[in-house]
Amino acid sequence: GGGGAGQTERRLSRPGQAGPGVAMLRRLLSGWKRYKYRLVPWIALNLGKNPRTIRFVPETSLDKVISDSAIEASLLKLFRALFRSDLSNQAEFLKMLPESIQSKYKNLLTHFHKETEGNRMDFNPDGAMLETFGFIIRRAISSLSFAGRGVFVTTGRVPKGTVVCMYPGTVYQQYEPILFQSICNPFIFRCVDGMLIDGNDKGISKVIYRSCSGRDRLGPYKTSDVTWLTETPVNPLALGQYVNNCSNEKEANVCYQEFDVPTTFPVEFRQYFPNVNYRHDVERLLRCVVLVTLRDIEMGEELFSNYYTIIK
């Protein structure tokens, strides 16, 4: 019958239908299963159960698999390819640079204008990566259950000792404020010397990175890349924060290595670095973290790292 004033409505749960409290609990449990693999205390408490997830390195090695010069050479090679494949957008930028830098690209620009007749060309970062390194990496659903997304080699083959990813984000000194950014944030990377990199591409972390990147622009010169905050990064290496922790079944095939960008690094290529210092009032080298392959990695394989490294 019809409902009169003061009549209450009663709803019965159907068998198997979860209430809002149960649904929220399931979401929290699902989130924890993904998050725990990035939580250092949980990893430390479970080291005995997961011995293959620990990486031991001697203190004398400074945790370096390849030399700094090899890292710099790899980044220069890719950034140069990105720059040249995007000349239609870089031409105006070049005009604002010192003559000494412009002269390096004079012949290239002349050839470019003849080839394209002034028309813009499509910029293809993956194509530049394939041409430079012989492989392409992309994000996709991880092969580990509850691990969310991971990073896969989708084209080509990656030889041992190759820079395969970069860990993007805002770089913090030990004494700089990061409390609020770190809450429920699984993307905080701690360097050997205590410096931190916030690789979260959402929320307050995203806002802070954009702000610091805009602050550090030298007029028209971009000194960092913000496109890693999107699904289509200009620097195709800037996916390192999505590389998942290894397990007893899936051993690590890459490792993290810290690299301080030298002051001599070409100014026209700095726009591709997916990192920025939190503070700008103190001059210091830009800290980057790259991921280096520990063995040959074939097409279709997922990248796995060690979140917990012990320096002996």
The predicted-structure confidence for 97-133, as pLDDT tens digits, reads as follows 778 777 877 776 666 555 555 555 678 999 999 999 9
Q: For a pLDDT cut of 90, what percent of the chain falls above it? A: 52
Q: What is the mean pLDDT of the chain?
A: 83
The reported pLDDT for the residue numbered 28 is 74
Query: How many Cα atoms are found within 13 Å in the side-chain-facing hemisphere of 79?
Result: 21
Residue 268 structure tokens: 């026209």
The reported pLDDT for the residue numbered 11 is 40
The predicted-structure confidence for 39-84, as pLDDT tens digits, reads as follows 556 666 666 555 555 555 565 555 689 999 999 999 999 999 999 8
The reported pLDDT for the residue numbered 120 is 54
The reported pLDDT for the residue numbered 215 is 93
The residue that leads in pLDDT, 176 or 103, is: 176
Quick check: 14 pLDDT over 60?
Answer: no
Element (H, E) at 197: strand 196-198
Instruction: Tell which residue, 225, 262, 215, 221, has the closest CA to residue 98.
Output: 221
